[in-house]
Amino acid sequence: MRAWQITALGTPATLRELPAPTPAPGEARIAIQACGLNFADLLMAEGRYQEQPALPFIPGLELAGTVLDLGPGTEGPPPGTRVAVYSGQGGLAEQGCFPVESLLPLPDGMPMAEAAGFQIAYGTSHLALAHKARLQPGETLLVLGAAGGVGLTAVEVGRQMGARVIACARGADKLAIARAAGADEVIDSDHPDLKSALKAMGGADVVYDPVGGPAFDAALRATRPDGRILSIGFASGTVPQIPANILLVKNITVIGFWWGGYLHFAPQILRDSLSTLLRWHAEGRLRPHISHRLPLDRFPEGLDLLRRRAATGKVVIEIAQQQ
């Protein structure tokens, strides 16, 4: 089978011919049809992610495909079942073996490309907003990086939860995409006085921040008293240094959130969240946005799109014809 493999951190992945895997007990072998790319793929390739596979490894945190067979003595979805998998690695290959408990059976109407990029982005936004920030109908949600992989889903999810959504992104094209996803108001992240502009919009009760850097600082100062700030990631490359005096005076809560961590300490909460999201998708309430679909041999191009923040929504690597 063909697969991308990283053999040394900080060096480019190589497309190789590798032996097809054999499922062990408790595993299913999947014919992988699509893999969703995430900013974490960049961090993992550089050895800067919180969960780091041993070398060599096949990158690709999440995927969708079809069950081929099960390991000896394993009970699980039968061959032919369409599934999505949050694997942590292994998605950028034509086949892979994964624990059966990580398989998410897919509704018949869900395209593989959408399923491949669904779990992390939508799961992050829903669990962060509903479980951690307790976003309420009528509250104002500010989404930074609102046209990116997770940011765009936060716009959609926030709208479904009844919030007034302010989307912050760079440039008219990205702002138009955020507005089409349901944002009530938009603001360019390059605004010369972002803090004042956000305050003029009334400030925010909840801030969803996958960016960090100066945008976090502006959002902090535009957060209303008793507000909540979700720290999702640091796509800007700068981790904010938070002035505790502002938190004290305004009674603001800053909440760290990592979706994958729930697999280890509260998996049922994560599964319940995904069940809600799949129901919303089936009802037509979510419309995943994929800006780039690339074949397997163009994976480095997909990573570069993420590195340059040139993509909107998801970048998906299509490994086989969609079924």
Please say whether the beta carbons of 61 and 120 come within 8 A.
yes
Q: For helices 172-180 and 151-160, what crossing angle results, to 10°?
A: 30
Q: What is the pLDDT of residue 323?
A: 38
Q: What is the pLDDT of residue 322?
A: 42
DSSP 125-152: HHIIIIIIS---TT-EEEEESTTSTTHH
Residues 71 and 77: their CA atoms lie apart, in Å, by 12
Q: What is the pLDDT of residues 42-65, one digit of tens each?
A: 999 888 888 889 999 999 999 999
Q: What is the pLDDT of residues 3-18, one digit of tens each?
A: 999 999 989 999 999 9
Which residues partner with 188 through β-bridges? 169
Band of residue 114 on the pLDDT scale cut at 50, 70, 90: very high
Alpha helices by DSSP H, the chain: 39-45, 112-116, 119-126, 151-160, 172-180, 194-200, 213-221, 244-250, 262-265, 267-282, 299-307
- Using CA atoms, how far residue 286 sits from 39, 280, 318, in Å, is 22, 6, 21
Query: CA 118, 182, 43 angle in degrees (round to 5)?
Result: 40
Q: What is the pLDDT of residue 228?
A: 98
What does pLDDT average to over the chain?
Answer: 96
Q: What is the pLDDT of residue 128?
A: 98
pLDDT at residue 320 above 90? no
Please say whether the beta carbons of 253 and 223 come within 8 A.
no
pLDDT at residue 97 above 70? yes
Q: What is the pLDDT of residue 50?
A: 84
Domains and CATH numbers, the chain: 2-118+288-318 (3.90.180.10), 121-260 (3.40.50.720)
Please say whether the beta carbons of 60 and 98 come within 8 A.
no
Q: What is the pLDDT of residues 126-164, one digit of tens each?
A: 999 999 999 999 999 999 999 999 999 999 999 999 999
Q: What is the pLDDT of residue 162?
A: 98
Q: Is the peptide bond before 56 cis (omega within 30 degrees of 0)?
A: yes
pLDDT at residue 93 above 90? yes
* Nearest C-alpha neighbor of 115 from the set 316, 310, 307: 316
For 272-293, what is the mean pLDDT? 96
Q: What is the pLDDT of residue 134?
A: 98
Percent of the chain with pLDDT over 70: 99
